[in-house]
Amino acid sequence: MTIHVAIVGAYGSAGTAVADELVDHPDVRLTLIDDGDPGGGLCILRGCMPSKEVLSAGAHRFQARDDHRLEGTPTVDLEAVVETKERHVTNFAEHRRAAVHEWAERDDVDLLRETARFVAPGTLAVGDRRLDPDYVVIATGSSPFVPDLPGIGDVDVATSADVLDATDLPDSGVVMGFGYVGLELVPYLAAAGEMDLTVIEHDARPLDEADPAFGDALLELYREAYDVRVVTEAYEEVVEPLADGGVRLVVQYADGTEEAIEAEQLYAFTGRKPALDGLGLDAAGLEPDQGWVADTMQATDDERVFVVGDANGKEPILHVAKEQGARAAENLLAHDAGDPLVPYDNVHHHVVFSGLGVYPYARVGHSEASAEAAGIDVVSVRRQASDDGVFATKDVPEGLASLVVDATDGTVLGYQGLHYHADVMAKTMQVIVELGLDVREVPDRSYHPTTPEILDGLFREAAAAVRERNR
């Protein structure tokens, strides 16, 4: 018996991952639905790929400015940055569309370039069609979230989407939001736009997922190297327009005092929200509240609806979206066959392209705090980038890294890095963590290029500590 599956958001990373798993199944008929114009998915068009394009321009300027061996500081041609970004993004998106369109040439695959909405549980209206598929997969991505702050409707608010398209930047800005979006875009504004920036951080430090030393190091780096004013333990109270077209943001500090911060532009890097508006979830009997999607990727109110990627609000990260899509496809087939479903449970592996990607933050597996919270007896070692001369020779001397291992059997549980090339080293550490290697058995060998020396140092220190604990 043929299973009919409708995927809403078929051009995105999660949607294509579902389709890729199902398209060759002999008993599956697919209806791929996407109203995106031109189509290509959030990551390609408005997310990780275009953001890395613009960050690279800021990174080149930052490194040239800070290298005492070089004379003169280049300026960033914002029009050239945006033109290059658009050219590359267009090519990437065409590649994605071509793959989807190739699937659509099959007899058992339809592609509908229209908007879909539920009109009843399990029933979709797509343009002038009505579909009653056996399963619906929602993979509609996310959109920038702007908080409902008093007065915010009276001022111009720029989001990450605006920054990626900006060919002109103001002289000053005040930033709400210092999560991964803010951590990536704030130094770009400071470097590419040469802006005076004030950033509002609710906590004592950024990087919620990191052990405190990393947030403290990043805070110092942004203040000193990027010349950004970051106010901590502060909350936005009200925003007001200024007569000259600027903005005044009033913040309150933990001690009850207030400050009015004025700037030409207000930026909201306050995260993203699932793109669910217009889907008619009420008609489907779905309530997108906390916990509305189970770890099997099924909607808790309808076991024949799967929600993947940013749309489920669990973890809005590209590789997670792909993995969730693949797991949803597997579970959809299992559900139809009456077999047990498998929850999605990924090993924590995140990279934030902080410091313009010159000083990225990466975490794989456990932090020291999360391991201790899980009741694991651990050995934790930490190493400064300045401990290894290679970082100084490359004029990127800031940062640190840590390793968490099981104190009893030496299993490598987690790595964090905030330093040059931490993003690249994260893949090596992902393999080590997911294979559950004993740190005492990780090869200690010379390697070229030499930036991974920071890992070698961590391995040696952790292995020695485990041996000492088990003598």
10 shares its domain with 114: yes
26 shares its domain with 175: no
Contact 347, 365 (CB under 8 A): yes
**Which range of residues forms the domain containing residue 7?**
3-144+273-337
**For residues 195-223, average pLDDT:** 96
Query: Where does residue 8 rank: exposed (0-12), middle (13-18), buried (19+ CB within 10 A)?
Result: buried
Round to the nearest angstrom and report the end-to-end CA distance of the chain. 62
379 shares its domain with 445: yes
49 shares its domain with 96: yes
Residue 94 has pLDDT above 90, yes or no: no
**For residues 32-44, average pLDDT:** 84
Tell me, yes or no, whether 117 lies in a domain. yes
Domain boundary among 252, 270, 288: 270
Residue 47 has pLDDT above 90, yes or no: no
Tell me, yes or no, whether 94 lies in a domain. yes
In tens, the pLDDT along 299-348 reads: 999 999 999 999 999 988 888 999 999 999 999 999 999 999 999 988 88
Tell me, yes or no, whether 351 lies in a domain. no
In tens, the pLDDT along 125-172 reads: 999 999 999 999 999 999 999 999 999 999 999 999 999 999 999 999
Tell me, yes or no, whether 354 lies in a domain. no
112 shares its domain with 167: no
243 shares its domain with 132: no
Cβ neighbors of 205 (< 8 A, separation 6 or more) are 212, 215, 216, 218, 219, 232
Contact 41, 12 (CB under 8 A): yes
Cα 216 from Cα 160, distance rounded (Å): 25
Label residue 230 by pLDDT band (50, 70, 90). very high
Residue 41's pLDDT is 75
Tell me, yes or no, whether 348 lies in a domain. no
Cα separations in angstroms, 367 against 4, 150, 213, 379: 42, 37, 11, 11
Q: Give just the sign of the alpha carbon dihedral 77, 78, 81, 86.
A: negative
Residue 470 has pLDDT above 90, yes or no: no
Tell me, yes or no, whether 352 lies in a domain. no
Question: Which token pair is 379?
Answer: 């050995």
CB-side exposure of 114: number of CA atoms within 13 Å? 14
Residue 316's pLDDT is 82
125 shares its domain with 209: no
Q: What CATH number should be reported for the domain holding residue 216?
A: 3.50.50.60
291 shares its domain with 312: yes
Residue 194's pLDDT is 85
62 shares its domain with 201: no
Phi–psi pair at 422, nearest 5 degrees: -60, -35
Residue 90's pLDDT is 86
Of these ranges, 63-72, 355-364, 444-453, the one predicted with the greatest mean pLDDT is 355-364
Residue 152's pLDDT is 96
Query: Do you know the residue count of the chain?
Result: 471
Residue 67's pLDDT is 86
Long-range Cβ contact pairs of 52-56 (< 8 A, separation 24 or more)? 52/353, 52/357, 53/81, 53/84, 53/85, 53/88, 53/89, 54/81, 54/82, 54/85, 54/163, 54/164, 54/188, 54/192, 55/184, 55/188, 55/353, 55/356, 55/357, 56/356, 56/357
Tell me, yes or no, whether 355 lies in a domain. no
**For residues 211-224, average pLDDT:** 96
In tens, the pLDDT along 360-407 reads: 999 999 999 999 999 999 999 999 999 888 899 899 999 999 999 999
Provide the residue type at 429 as one letter: M
173 shares its domain with 34: no
**For residues 415-436, average pLDDT:** 96
Percentage with pLDDT > 90 across the chain: 81
CA-wise closest residue to 398 among 422, 423, 368, 429? 422
Q: What CATH number should be reported for the domain holding residue 374?
A: 3.30.390.30
Percentage with pLDDT > 70 across the chain: 100
Residue 38's pLDDT is 82
259 shares its domain with 281: no
Number of domains the chain is built from? 3
Tell me, yes or no, whether 353 lies in a domain. no
Mean pLDDT of the chain: 93
Q: Which helix H or strand E contains 393, and what residues bound it?
A: helix 389-393
262 shares its domain with 295: no
